[in-house]
């Protein structure tokens, strides 16, 4: 049974489901899939369900977004430990320049 549907800020939708009573094997099968990506098909008691052929993949952060997030965590650690005083933008620019120099040093 499909239960409350809630909309999220990123325009995705969160759904909750309740099943009928499951056997221990069915429960273990579901639990083994926790956190995995895949297609979920729900149809109101119909036999003909079309399952997509392509892989289900959740789009995550871009590599540059991931780098910014990691740099921010590093910035927070350095700030909290008293190793850096200043704005994130200054920290980011300094570390990005260091990364660029490191990559440039690999170019022949």
Q: Which two tokens stand for residue 107?
A: 């170019």
Confidence of residue 107 (pLDDT cuts 50, 70, 90): very high
Instruction: Report, as an integer, the average pLDDT of 46-59.
Output: 70
One-letter-per-residue 3-state SS of 15-49: EEECCCCCCHHHHHHHHHCCCCCCCCCCCCCCCCC
This model's pTM is above 0.85 = no
- pLDDT for 76 equals 94
**Looking at residue 56, what is its pLDDT?**
66
* 7-21, 27-41, 54-68, 90-104: range with highest mean pLDDT: 90-104
Domain extent listing, the chain: 63-106
pLDDT at 80: 94
Q: Report the SS3 class of residue 19.
A: coil
Instruction: Note the pLDDT tens digit of each residue in 24-39.
Output: 998 998 899 887 777 7
pLDDT tens for 58-73 read: 667 778 888 999 999 9
């Amino acid at each position: 049974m499909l239960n409350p549907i809630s909309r999220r800020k990123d325009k995705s939708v969160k759904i909750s489901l309740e099943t009928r009573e499951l056997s221990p094997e069915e429960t273990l099968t579901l639990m083994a899939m926790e956190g995995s990506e895949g297609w979920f098909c729900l149809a109101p008691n119909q036999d003909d369900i079309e399952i997509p052929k392509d892989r289900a993949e959740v789009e995550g952060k871009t590599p540059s977004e991931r780098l910014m997030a990691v740099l921010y965590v590093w910035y927070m650690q350095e700030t909290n430990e008293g190793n850096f005083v200043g704005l994130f933008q200054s920290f980011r620019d300094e570390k990005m320049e260091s990364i660029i120099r490191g990559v440039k040093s690999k170019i022949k």
